[in-house]
Amino acid sequence: MTSFLSHVTIDCHDAYALSEWWKPVLGYVDIDGDPNEPGHEECMIRDPESGQQLLFIEVPDDELPAKRIHLDVAPREGTRDDEVERLLAHGATLVADRRGQYGPGTGWVTLADPEGNQLCVIRNAQERGDG
């Protein structure tokens, strides 16, 4: 027997604001019949195609753990570099640029969302040559 991944939970200070930030980044939507609203302490969003879910939960601690979550994202359309520019324009901040670290066209870019959660932007399957 095995377990399945129900959803990914992210500890945060403002569940609504962070869920709203991530929705356009990933193309996710609110759960049908359960819209997220300002002041909600728990906000879940889902991928309308795959059903994958992210749950943002407010925690009372002033200091959040340094490694609460780490997501790798790849662009559905366009290139890794286009996606990096889109996310920076959306309010992400640059943490580290590792493009070309292992030769031309390789690597990733580490960004942070508005609460400091890090995410890496990787090349999509087409850019890697596997899709």
**Token pair of 42 as six digits:** 């728990």
| Count of other CB atoms within 10 angstroms of residue 12 | 24
Q: Which CATH number fits domain 1-63: 1.10.150.20, 1.10.10.10, 3.40.50.300, 3.10.180.10?
A: 3.10.180.10
| CATH code assigned to 69-131 | 3.10.180.10
Long-range contacts of 25-33 (CB under 8 A, 24+ apart): 25/73, 25/87, 25/90, 25/92, 25/113, 26/54, 26/73, 27/76, 28/54
Predicted confidence at residue 65, as pLDDT, reads 64
Confidence band for 55, pLDDT divided at 50, 70 and 90: very high
125 pLDDT band, cuts 50/70/90, is: confident
pLDDT for residue 14 = 94
Share of the chain above pLDDT 90, in %: 50
Domain range list for the chain: 1-63, 69-131
Per-residue pLDDT at 7 exceeds 80: yes
Q: What is the pTM of this model?
A: 0.72
Q: Which residue has the higher pLDDT, 106 or 16?
A: 16
Hey, do 1-63 and 69-131 end up sharing a CATH topology, with the first three levels equal?
A: yes
